[in-house]
Amino acid sequence: MLHTIPLDQLLAPRRGVISVIGSGGKSTLLACGGRALADAGRRVVLATSTHMFVPQDIPLASSELELEAMLSKCNLVCVGEVEQRTGKLIASAIPFSRLADMADYVLVEADGSHRLPLKAHAPHEPVIPAANARTILVVGAGAFGETVETAVHRPEIFCRLTGCSPQDAATPELVARAVAAEGLVDDDDLVILNQVDHMDRPSSLDACHDFARTLGREVLAGSIRSGALVHLG
């Protein structure tokens, strides 16, 4: 039997700043994970160290005074400045260490992927705050089987990491090799294989196991939107 873990229980053990990196579900994890923690009675701030789309139906604070006032009324608040040119949210001037003092959890979108399901990182990426307590790497399993050149942000770096060509299929094993080569997560961090909508299908489960086995570490798999993920040892 598959062991599922609700998002609030998954995120709860490590308070403070949690940086979400990778592709294929970062914004979804911030919104769904933030709501799950808030519903469990925790005070949660959503933020970015780069830029992200403004979350829907979540109060937005642009100053420390606004944030403090909003957190006194609700458990989930987003903080940052809206960039006029793009309409996206950019980093707040409030230090992340201060945000961690004001809330139980600060969920930070610390990466960009041009809305592609997979990503390889340039030397300046991701942008992890100095106050970071834990990193969560999200991988979009919906891209498995697509070509590297169509599914990966920065495919040239992905190819260099794995020795593949842009026309090769992004198999679970190949993606896991790229993740391992980058070494962006430690043993205490989390890897989430998102966009697996049918964990009960043998083909989906096999792909997840192939990814986890090649990566050589624990992986959480499933659909973040469902509110729970499956633990794969």
Q: What tens digit of pLDDT does each residue of 174-215 get? A: 999 999 999 999 999 999 999 998 766 778 889 999 999 999
Q: In percent, how much of the chain has pLDDT > 70?
A: 99
pLDDT > 90? residue 217: yes
Q: What is the pLDDT of residues 33-48, one digit of tens each?
A: 999 999 999 999 999 9
Task: Judge whether residue 50 has pLDDT over 70.
Answer: yes
In DSSP terms, 82 is beta-bridged to: 89
pLDDT, the chain, mean: 95
Domains of the chain, each with CATH number or no CATH: 4-232 (3.40.50)
